Amino acid sequence: MSDSIQITDSAQDYLAELLAKQNVEGIAVRIFITQPGTPYAETCLAYCRPGEEEPSDERLELEKIAVYLDSNSVPFLEEAVVDFNADRMGGQLTIKAPNAKMPKVNADSPLEDQVNYVLHSEINPGLAAHGGEVRLVQLTEEQVAVLSFGGGCQGCAAVDITLKDGVEKTLKERIPELSGIRDITDHSDTTNAYY
């Protein structure tokens, strides 16, 4: 079994019961994280009928259920625990994924994850003081990181300097493979500016 996620017996019982009610032969559970490695990460559990899984999914055969893990989410599901707490109202399924928002990245991780990691662990905490944040919008084929500046950074006169000096320098130091950085924010909107 993948050491990335733990599904307790009570959670398996509960999920097995739910799956049985679906009356679909071979139905499984699929676990994935939307926007993994960002502050907006959400861990999701869904029914997965045969054929609905992705070819790259990791399949776990548990005692009572089968689980598919989205391959992109696996690193973020490390140390995750799916549990079921029974109570008088029937109970509640909980998913704790401590690493969903903070990825464990290394040099082998996809470039996108590495960029997100540096943004969230090093760059955004500094910008937060100004009410700003940076997001990775996309990584081009030329390995250029396209970033979006939100909050107080938008329309800030110093943003070009901040961007060029701080963010680009930090990202390139941490991730030598990056060829450059572009910014998609329109800095002519000064409604939110911080001077």
Q: What is the pLDDT of residues 143-155, one digit of tens each?
A: 999 888 776 655 5
Contact by Cβ (8 Å): 34, 42: yes
Share of the chain above pLDDT 70, in %: 83
Q: For residue 195, what pLDDT is reported?
A: 46
* Model pLDDT for residues 96-110, shown as the tens digit of each residue: 988 888 766 777 888
What is residue 104's predicted lDDT score, i.e. its pLDDT? 66
CB contact at 8 A, 78 and 14: no
102 or 80, greater pLDDT: 80
